[in-house]
């Protein structure tokens, strides 16, 4: 898998070199990696620590920075060459990456920031095994309450905390009575995430149960189609154990197993200790089997 990912990175670099002003074809890169674009973007973001779109932007502006300092083209020519429709748009993007505008950089020979070309390699560091199982489920519903929240990678998510505090005990009791299948009990469900998975982008967050029943009139319902799920177990400090599990699934488990993520809700069933310091949880990730090439 890592070899195919590096071949996809070579493909992206060739696109940037041959056509610096055109959008990078992520779908073509995912075909080189022999996976779906959805899984390729998810895997890249987890491994690289940034969305693919941000990496491409930094690589493009790294090359543009070299041309600004070289002084062989006008600033407008450099802007157009790298896909910016105006000098102002180029200057904003340039400053966001390099900390100075292109005009200032050219006048005083400023120190710029470079995004190196990225490649992936295997580092053996796992000291503990990941407990997982593969489950095939027929179509079901998530019934409960729904809101829209920003994505937070580390620490508590204030928007989710406030939302959950607003759900009264009677509603929770009614929901628990609707739970009739795995994963059992009250669940936290994330769906419709931005493909970039960037911090601060928004997602739909459901607090509810898995059921085959219809939703009451005062509750929201999310229809989940039939498919396979990878189910991971974790126990540890709250909330870090779950956040680190999410990361490890994409940086360690997927590259080592013949599965790819597929679009769908990511489901967390959990129990937090009374003092709020530790958690036992199951994380359900929608997957599809990927036959060996």
Whether residues 137 and 280 fall in one domain: yes
Whether residues 136 and 96 fall in one domain: no
Closest by CA to 191, choosing from 181, 206, 177, is 206
Q: Which of 92, 108, 124 is the last residue of a domain?
A: 108
How many structural domains does the chain have? 2
Cα–Cα distance measured from residue 195 to residue 266, given in angstroms and rounded to the nearest whole number: 14
Cα–Cα distance measured from residue 136 to residue 121, given in angstroms and rounded to the nearest whole number: 32
pLDDT at position 150 is 94
CATH number, domain of 260, equals 3.20.80.10
pLDDT at position 292 is 60
Please give the span between the terminal C-alpha atoms of the chain, in angstroms, as a whole number.
10
pLDDT at position 127 is 44
Cα–Cα distance measured from residue 209 to residue 224, given in angstroms and rounded to the nearest whole number: 12
CATH number, domain of 45, equals 1.10.10.60
Cα–Cα distance measured from residue 110 to residue 122, given in angstroms and rounded to the nearest whole number: 36
> Is position 126 within any domain?
no
pTM of the complete model: 0.74
Q: Which residue spans within 21-93 are E strands per DSSP?
A: none
Cα–Cα distance measured from residue 146 to residue 68, given in angstroms and rounded to the nearest whole number: 48
Cα–Cα distance measured from residue 26 to residue 42, given in angstroms and rounded to the nearest whole number: 12
- What average pLDDT values come out for the chain (293 residues) when binned by 10 residues? 87 94 93 91 85 92 91 93 94 93 85 85 56 93 97 86 95 96 96 83 96 95 96 89 85 84 94 90 93 62
> Is position 262 within any domain?
yes
> Is position 69 within any domain?
yes
| Domain that includes residue 141, residue range | 132-289
């Amino acid at each position: 898998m890592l070899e195919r990912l590096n071949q996809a990175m070579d493909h992206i670099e060739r696109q940037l070199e041959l056509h610096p002003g055109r959008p990078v074809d992520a779908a073509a890169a995912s075909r080189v990696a022999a996976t779906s674009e959805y899984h390729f973007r998810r895997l890249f973001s987890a491994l690289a620590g940034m969305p693919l779109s941000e990496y491409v932007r930094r690589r493009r502006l790294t090359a543009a920075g070299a041309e600004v300092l070289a002084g062989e083209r006008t600033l407008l020519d450099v802007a157009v060459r790298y896909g910016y429709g105006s000098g102002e748009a180029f200057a904003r993007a340039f400053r966001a990456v390099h900390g100075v505008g292109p005009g200032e950089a050219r006048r005083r020979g400023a120190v710029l920031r470079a995004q190196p070309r990225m490649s992936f390699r295997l580092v053996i560091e796992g000291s503990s095994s990941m407990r997982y199982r593969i489950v095939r489920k027929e179509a079901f519903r998530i019934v409960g309450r729904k809101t829209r929240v920003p994505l937070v990678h580390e620490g508590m998510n204030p928007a989710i905390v406030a939302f959950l505090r607003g759900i009264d005990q009677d509603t929770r009791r009614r929901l628990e009575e609707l739970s009739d299948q795995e994963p059992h009990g009250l669940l936290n469900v994330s769906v419709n995430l931005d493909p970039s998975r960037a911090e601060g982008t928004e997602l739909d967050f459901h607090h509810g149960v898995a059921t085959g029943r219809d939703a009451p009139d005062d509750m929201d319902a999310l229809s989940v189609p039939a498919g396979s799920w990878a189910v991971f177990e974790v126990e540890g400090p709250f909330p870090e154990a779950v956040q680190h599990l999410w990361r490890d699934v994409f940086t360690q488990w997927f590259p080592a197993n013949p599965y790819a993520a597929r679009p769908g809700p990511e489901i967390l069933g959990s129990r937090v200790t009374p003092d709020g310091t530790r958690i036992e949880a199951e994380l359900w990730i929608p997957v599809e089997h990927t036959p060996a090439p």
